[in-house]
Amino acid sequence: MSIIFDEKKKVFKLDTPNTSYAFHITNSKHLLHLYYGKKIPETDLTFLLRIPNDEPFVPATHDAMGPHSFDCAPIEFPTSGVADFREPSMQLMDENGMSACECYYKDYKIYKGKKPLKGLPATYGDEDDVTSLEVYCHDPLNGLEIILQYSVFEKLDIITRSVKVQNKGKSPLELRRLLSLSVDLDHKDFDMITLNGTWARERHVERAPLRFGKQVVDSCRGATSHAHNNFIALCDHKADEDYGEAYGFALVYSGSFISGCEVYQYEKTRVFSGINPYDFSWHLKIDEEFQAPEVIMTFSYQGLGQMSRNLHDVIRQHLIRGKWKDIRRPVLINNWEATYFNFDTEKLIQIARDAAQAGIDMLVMDDGWFGGRSDDTTSLGDWYVNEEKIKGGLKYLVDEVNKLGLKFGIWFEPEMISPDSDLYRKHPDWCIHIPGRYRTTARSQLVLDFSRKDVRDYIYSRIKEILSSANIEYVKWDMNRQLSEVGNEVLPAIRQREIWHRYVLGVYEMQERLLTDFPDLLLENCAGGGARYDCGMLYYSPQIWTSDDTDAIERLKIQHGTSMCYPCSTMGAHVSAVPNHCVGRTTPFQTRGHVALVGTFGYELDITKLSDEEKSAIKEQIAEFDKYNFLVRSGDFYRIGNPFKSTRFDAWEFVAKDKSEALLQYVQILKTPSLFLHRIRLKGLEQGQYYRHEQTGKVYSAEILMNSGFDIPNLWGDFHSYLAYFKKV
């Protein structure tokens, strides 16, 4: 069993193939964390607690614990107001205005498989994949029932955690905070890794030593945000890609979040993650419940690379769903950077004709096809085809594109409304707003109130009608601003602070309806580029637009950072025109193709303006995509270079799960004079085996490739790239 309960020692122990996680029930019915790390055989682990019993000047509670102070105990589910002065997982307000709450153990249940989380995305698995544990706790004073939820993936080094609360008391309660995860680790000697940035510069890696106090990344924007991602990692100070201990924590949620660490006075570290308590509350009537989102946890003693591969595996195998989970996705061409708003039926068919000749699979019509939309100031919410642009109607356009041999996709921004729109003039109360307060716009738009069922139902009906009117096989779902002035005129005052979370639940419901009604649809999420790149969105869409910055050199950093948590198969990546529209940089066509090959692969340019040589290069790039996509989509990913540390090069590698093949990709960022050939050590090959380099036919031992390395040919000039493919002989 991967989960056991030692009745004598009162210890729960959760084992993955290489890791163990353990916690203990005290005599006072409290839960104390014992261990999370490399796999161990023992269950008699209470000696690991190391709690002082004579600590001065801090309240000591519950004599049955020792007596010990809560303030130095590694509490499995810490609560507010009861002598633990560190970051709590739960806080509430009762009818008397009291905010203290407690968590006492009652019972447990271990079972095979994994239950879904109501209304929320979560990992999944059957009885052969997962064993789950529910620990039933309560607060006897207010009647709150607390269910701690754990799942262990039998074949992966992955554990998930969540929590659900139910009001079984005699009066309503107001939930002020419910974090999904809290883990107390036994020392403070960690670096914390976060993924930070802004628009067009998302998920840049920042690594810094922990210090005393709280180190937090968060969003109070109603979405994950460009600024911070809701994944964090902790690792040894000397840990690198291949060596050292590393913990990874990924929140399966797409709204406001908080994730961070607190190093407290006893030189230990509390890690926490969940819904941001900023401006949040949830009114729990008697018998009502609230489900927190899930956190995916992993531990690696083989460096950051293995931490990432653990997360990649669980996301690909047990989070992404549907038809497109494990198959080749179409190579698409999007007209946005080709035309922006300046297009019509004739222009799109011209693009489709040239795209078909180049071997591209799909044309995607981006923003500007609906209402009176000719720029970004108008018509969001008016989801009716603009037949002055789309002459002959949408079905005619789609049919003509299909006749050319291409699939057809379309862009929506369902969560937004323009003040200059028919929908807003008819329903000005449908946006998120505070009555009487100024309505702040961003990109000339407001946010529709997806906490309201009537709003969701109307918008969904318009989307469904459009998708049902023609053979549309792909949707790009965009979201170009975050939430402000959060309120509405529907919910009572006591439930107004629920809108933040209800909005996210509404988005999830909408995307679930979409996939239910159109199960063959390929959905790609987007949020001003990568502002909502998280595990919550990946439950609904197998790919996310990684960034609006498509420059190949900038994408090295963005894709490197994204890969810390998220598999390459999820990264929307396109070859775009030069000079690049974000940074003005000119890079070789081959390099743009090699960088985009890391992700879903497609084109973001006006193919009708390309030279014959470039059109021929597209055919060659698509042939490379077809050859290597299975390996990229399903293989193990190894980061070899680091564009945050070197301006000379970046390199990465994909290795098949059975070690039968490997693909090395290299980008020379800035050419350095007077150097020998750059020798790159490969990773992940099968020792004792030999590999043939496809381009030269030369055979190398795995040992020579991994211990000495492979010479990259001399590349002349900045921004050039090289690809090397190896097959086991």
What is d(CA 604, CA 577) in angstroms, rounded to the nearest whole number? 7
Cα–Cα distance for residue pair 623/629, rounded to 1 Å: 10
Q: Quote the tokens at residue 611.
A: 């030279």
Cβ atoms 503, 488 nearer than 8 A: no
Total Cβ atoms within 10 A of residue 268: 17
Q: What is the DSSP letter of 391?
A: T
Of the candidates 72, 90, 73, 63, the one whose C-alpha atom is nearest the C-alpha of residue 24 is: 73
* Residue of 548, 549, 636, 650 with catalytic role: 548
Judged by DSSP in three states, 90 sits in strand
Rounded to 5 degrees, φ, ψ at 468 are -85, -10
**Alpha-carbon distance values, 218 to 215, 277, 393 (Å):** 10, 10, 44
Of the residues 139, 478, 549, 551, only one is catalytic, namely: 478
Tokens of 169: 């008391």
DSSP string over 545-581: E--S---HHHHHHHHHHHTTTS-GGGEE--EE-SS-T
**Integer angstrom CA distances of residue 330 from 345, 521, 601:** 22, 12, 8
CA atoms within 13 A on the CB side of 711: 7
Q: Judge whether 454 counts as a catalytic residue.
A: no
CA atoms of 497 and 479, how far apart (whole Å): 22
Supply the DSSP symbol for 534.
S
How far apart (Å, rounded) are the C-alpha atoms in residues 714 and 460? 55
Q: What are the structure tokens assigned to 512, written together?
A: 């679930």
Helix or strand run (H / E) with residue 352: helix 345-358
Q: Is 548 a catalytic residue?
A: yes
399: left (phi over 0), alpha (psi -120 to 50) or beta: alpha
Scan for tokens 């998920």, then name that residue: 203
Reference 480, options 510, 433, 450, 525; nearest CA is 525
Q: Are 362 and 408 in contact (CB under 8 A)?
A: yes
Nearest 5°: CA angle at 522, between 520 and 528? 155
Measured from the Cβ of residue 215, the count of other Cβ atoms closer than 10 Å reads 17
**Are the beta carbons of 250 and 141 closer than 8 angstroms?**
no
Residue with structure tokens 């990692």? 233
Q: Are 290 and 164 in contact (CB under 8 A)?
A: yes
Cα 556 to Cα 276: distance, rounded to the nearest angstrom: 30
Task: Kindly provide the b/e burial profile for residues 645-665, where b requires at least 16 CB atoms within 10 angstroms of the residue's own CB.
Answer: eeeebbbbbbbbeebebbbbb
Known catalytic residues are: 478, 548
